[in-house]
Homo-oligomer: A and B are copies of this chain.
């Protein structure tokens, strides 16, 4: 695995890292960017080279500060709890709201999704300074529903998904809990770990396994 310094440097310079979760779980590879370095071009890369949902990831503390609910709670609250089921690998989903920044046009273009994500990053940075202002800014500056799902980490002790791995990675590298991830897809199915490794090598992107994150970073 790359050193922490090298990984931090790559993420801060706008390079992604490819992260495999765990054998027996999703067994999927996600492409991850640091949200503070996301540009329109990063979204184009996620869309073309990863192919899954392009999601913004933050921590539970940030989610609470901004008043972001888990969709599962919201569905239970309005009497749709029957629809909340667990996927085969067992965890409760990390999905919170889907949002657009108000300065987007339709919300879906690479440029618009980058605007939404950079806006979310700014709000998350704001929390440390003034939580009330961050929450109020969030409500003023974003609309829901939108085209960027927010995922909230429940902590790696409670869920071992890409959402939680992204947050552990950010914390270990001294970055804000503010990442962007998308699943890497292949022809028909999720891209295999082996194929993702080859791509990472070809592209010169770091490849990390969940086990390495837990043993060396968490």
Taken together, the copies of this chain in the complex come to 2
Given contacts A28-B106, A74-B78, contact A84 B190 (CB under 8 A): no
Per-residue B-contact encoding for A95-124, CB less than 8 Å = 1, 0 else: 101111010111111110000000000000
Residues of A within 8 A of B (CB): 26, 28, 40-41, 44, 47-48, 51-53, 67, 69, 71-72, 74-75, 77-78, 80, 82-89, 93, 95, 97-100, 102, 104-111, 139, 142-147, 149, 183, 185, 187-190
- CB of A144 within 8 A of CB of B80, answer yes
In the assembled complex, the Cα of A183 lies from the Cα of B72 at a distance in Å of: 27
Residues of B within 8 A of A188 (CB): 40-41, 44, 109-111
- CB of A87 within 8 A of CB of B100, answer yes
- CB of B190 within 8 A of CB of A106, answer yes
Majority secondary structure, A binding face: mixed
Given contacts A78-B77, A95-B98, A106-B28, contact A111 B144 (CB under 8 A): no
- CB of A75 within 8 A of CB of B144, answer yes
Please indicate which of the listed interface residues A40, A41, A97, A190 has the most CB atoms of chain B within 10 Å of its own CB: A190
Please indicate which of the listed interface residues A84, A106, A149 has the most CB atoms of chain B within 10 Å of its own CB: A106
In the assembled complex, the Cα of A189 lies from the Cα of B105 at a distance in Å of: 10
In the assembled complex, the Cα of A3 lies from the Cα of B86 at a distance in Å of: 45
Q: Contact partner of A108 among B52, B83, B145, CB < 8 A? A: B52
Given contacts A40-B188, A82-B139, A139-B82, contact A108 B53 (CB under 8 A): yes
Residues of B within 8 A of A83 (CB): 97, 99, 139, 142-144
Residues of B within 8 A of A41 (CB): 188
Residues of B within 8 A of A87 (CB): 100, 104-107, 143
Residues of B within 8 A of A106 (CB): 26, 28, 87, 89, 183, 190
In the assembled complex, the Cα of A188 lies from the Cα of B105 at a distance in Å of: 12
